[in-house]
C-alpha cells in the first residue's frame, strides 16, 4: 500500500495538504490509471455519492495530472521498490534487459501509426506498435510508441538511454530482427553487451581481424576480413557519436536513420559496421559454444512474451484497439498500461513472498531452484471485468496484507 501511494504522489503535489484531500486525489488518480490501462473509459469508474469518483472530476484529473513525465516518474519509483524485495533479488539482478514490440491495432486515422504488412498483411486499417523494455526478471522500465515497422534497434538504444530507474543493465537481449552489424557496433561502443536471440544462426558469417590467424573448426565460417583501417580513421568521430548519445544531445532513432543512409551507409556508418563485425563475430562464436548464453537470451525473451500476455489481458476494452489519435495520447495511455502491469506484478510478488514465508513457517524447505522458477506474471486470479471499487478495506488501510487463501483439504 505504501509503495502504491508513494508512486501516486508523483502525479500530484497535494502530499502536504489535509489527509482527506490527498486521499481523494489518490483515489481519483487510481481510477483514471485503471480506466486508461484497461481501455474502458471513465464511466465504469464513476461512483454516485463519491466526489473523488465523479465523472467530471475524473476527466479533469486525466487532463491535468496524466502525462509522460508523471507516468515515467511513478513507474521508476515502482520499479525501484520492486527490485529491493528479497524475492526479486532471488530471481536475479537488473543486469540483463530485453526489448520487444507489443503491437496494437490503431483503427483511427493518425499520422502516428502506419500499415504493418509484416504482421497483418495489406490491411486498410493503420497499425502501430509499442517497443517495450524489461529488466530481468519482469520490470517494464521504458516504452516508446513506434508507427509502422522501422528497425527496432534504433529505439532499443533510445529507450536504454532515456530510462529513469536506478537499474543499469549491462546486457540487452532482443529478437533476430535487431541483430545488425551496426547495432553490435554502437552497443559495444557504449559499453553494452548485445545478446540477440538468433534464428538460422548456422548460416551466419564470421569475420577475421588477423589475416594470418587460423581458427580451427571455425575456419570454414570465416569468409571475410574486418576493415580495421576504416575503424581507426573514424575513431574520433565514433567517440563523438557515443558522447552525443550518452549526453542526450541527439536521439538514436534520428542519428542512425541518417547513418544507415537508406542502404548506403555514411563513412561513420560503415565504420560502425566494421566495429560491429568484430563484436558480432565474438558473440556468434560464444553463441555456438555456450548453451547457457543461448538459454539466458531465450528465457528472458520468453518472460517478456508472458508479460505481453498479461498486458493484453489488462488492455481488454474496445477489442484491445488503441483509439487515441495523437502521439501524446497514445504514449500516455500505453504508459499507464505499463504502470498498471507493473502494479499487478508487484502485487503478485508481495503475496508470493508471503506464501513462501508461510510454507517455511510450517517447517517445509523450499529449494532455491524452485524459487528461481516462480513467476509473478500470472493473472488468473485477477478479475478485469465488472465494476471497480476503490474503497480500501480497513486491514489494507492500516498497512497490513490481505489474508492468504486456505486451500481445501487434500490439496
Q: Taking 90 as the threshold, does the pLDDT of residue 37 lie above it?
A: yes
More confident residue, 37 or 79: 37
DSSP β-ladder status, 139-147 and 127-135: antiparallel
Contact in structure between 204 and 198 (CB atoms under 8 Å): yes
DSSP codes, 288-333: HH-HHHHHHHHHHHHHHHHHHHHHHHHS-GGGG-----SHHHHHHH
- The answer for residues whose C-beta is within 8 angstroms of residue 49's C-beta and 6 or more apart is none
Confidence of residue 386 (pLDDT cuts 50, 70, 90): confident
**Within 10 Å of residue 299's Cβ, how many Cβ atoms?**
16
137: preceding bond cis by omega (within 30 degrees): yes
Q: Taking 90 as the threshold, does the pLDDT of residue 174 lie above it?
A: no
Q: Give the containing element (helix H, strand E) for 394.
A: helix 394-397
Single out the residue of 220, 221, 238 nearest to residue 274, CA to CA: 238
Q: Taking 70 as the threshold, does the pLDDT of residue 118 lie above it?
A: no
Q: Taking 80 as the threshold, does the pLDDT of residue 351 lie above it?
A: yes
Model confidence, pTM: 0.81
Poorest-confidence range of 99-103, 250-254, 369-373?
A: 99-103
Cell numbers at residue 401, please? 496484507
Q: Taking 50 as the threshold, does the pLDDT of residue 135 lie above it?
A: no
More confident residue, 92 or 249: 249
Q: pLDDT digit string (tens) for 38-94?
A: 999 999 999 888 999 999 999 999 998 888 888 888 888 888 888 888 888 888 766
Contact in structure between 148 and 114 (CB atoms under 8 Å): yes
Which pLDDT belongs to residue 88?
85
Which pLDDT belongs to residue 137?
46
Q: Which residues of 31-42 are buried (b: 16+ CB within 10 A; e: fewer)?
A: bbbbbbbbbbeb
Which pLDDT belongs to residue 162?
74
- Mean of all residue pLDDT scores within the chain: 80
Chain-centre distance of CA 288, in angstroms?
A: 28
Which pLDDT belongs to residue 136?
46
Q: Taking 70 as the threshold, does the pLDDT of residue 138 lie above it?
A: no
Residues paired with 111 in a beta bridge = none
Angle at CA 94, nearest 5°, toward 92 and 98? 100
Q: pLDDT digit string (tens) for 181-235?
A: 888 888 888 888 888 887 776 667 788 888 888 888 777 778 788 899 999 999 9
Angle between helices 181-189 and 252-260 (to 10 degrees): 130
Which pLDDT belongs to residue 31?
94
Confidence of residue 120 (pLDDT cuts 50, 70, 90): low
Amino acid at each position: 500500500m505504501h509503495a502504491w501511494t508513494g508512486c501516486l504522489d508523483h502525479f500530484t503535489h497535494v502530499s502536504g495538504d489535509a489527509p482527506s484531500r490527498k486521499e481523494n486525489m489518490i483515489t481519483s488518480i487510481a481510477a483514471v490509471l485503471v480506466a486508461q490501462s484497461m481501455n474502458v473509459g471513465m464511466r465504469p469508474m464513476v461512483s454516485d455519492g463519491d466526489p473523488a469518483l465523479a465523472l467530471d472530476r475524473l476527466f479533469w484529473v486525466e487532463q491535468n495530472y496524466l502525462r509522460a513525465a508523471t507516468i515515467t516518474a511513478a513507474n521508476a519509483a515502482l520499479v525501484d521498490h520492486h527490485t529491493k524485495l528479497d524475492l526479486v533479488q532471488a530471481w536475479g539482478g537488473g543486469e540483463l534487459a530485453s526489448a520487444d514490440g507489443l503491437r496494437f491495432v490503431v483503427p483511427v486515422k493518425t499520422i502516428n501509426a502506419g500499415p504493418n504488412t509484416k504482421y497483418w498483411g495489406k490491411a486498410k486499417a493503420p497499425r502501430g506498435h509499442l517497443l517495450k523494455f524489461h529488466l530481468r526478471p519482469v520490470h517494464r522500465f521504458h516504452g516508446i510508441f513506434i508507427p509502422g515497422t522501422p528497425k527496432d534497434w534504433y529505439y532499443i538504444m533510445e529507450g536504454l538511454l532515456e530510462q529513469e530507474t536506478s537499474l543499469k543493465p549491462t546486457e540487452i537481449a532482443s529478437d533476430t530482427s535487431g541483430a545488425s552489424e551496426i547495432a553490435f557496433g554502437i552497443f559495444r561502443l557504449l559499453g553494452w553487451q548485445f545478446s540477440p536471440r538468433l534464428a538460422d544462426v548456422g548460416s551466419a558469417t564470421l569475420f577475421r581481424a588477423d589475416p594470418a590467424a587460423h581458427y580451427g573448426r571455425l575456419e570454414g565460417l570465416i569468409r571475410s576480413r574486418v576493415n580495421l583501417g576504416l575503424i581507426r580513421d573514424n575513431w574520433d568521430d565514433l567517440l563523438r557519436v557515443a558522447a552525443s548519445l550518452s549526453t542526450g544531445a541527439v536521439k538514436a532513432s534520428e542519428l542512425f536513420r541518417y547513418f544507415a543512409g537508406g542502404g548506403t551507409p555514411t563513412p561513420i556508418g560503415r565504420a560502425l559496421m566494421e566495429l560491429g563485425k568484430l563484436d558480432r563475430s565474438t558473440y556468434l562464436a560464444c553463441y555456438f559454444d555456450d548453451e547457457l548464453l543461448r538459454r539466458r537470451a531465450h528465457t528472458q525473451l520468453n518472460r517478456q512474451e508472458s508479460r505481453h500476455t498479461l498486458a493484453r489481458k489488462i488492455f481488454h476494452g474496445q477489442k484491445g484497439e488503441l483509439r487515441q489519435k495523437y502521439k501524446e495520447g497514445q504514449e500516455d495511455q500505453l504508459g499507464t498500461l505499463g504502470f498498471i502491469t507493473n502494479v499487478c506484478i508487484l502485487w503478485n510478488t508481495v503475496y508470493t513472498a508471503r506464501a513462501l514465508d508461510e510454507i517455511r513457517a510450517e517447517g517445509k524447505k523450499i529449494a532455491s531452484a524452485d524459487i528461481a522458477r516462480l513467476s509473478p506474471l500470472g493473472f488468473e486470479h485477477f478479475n478485469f471485468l465488472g465494476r471497480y471499487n476503490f474503497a480500501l478495506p480497513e486491514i489494507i488501510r492500516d498497512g497490513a496484507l490481505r489474508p492468504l487463501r486456505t486451500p481445501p483439504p487434500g490439496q
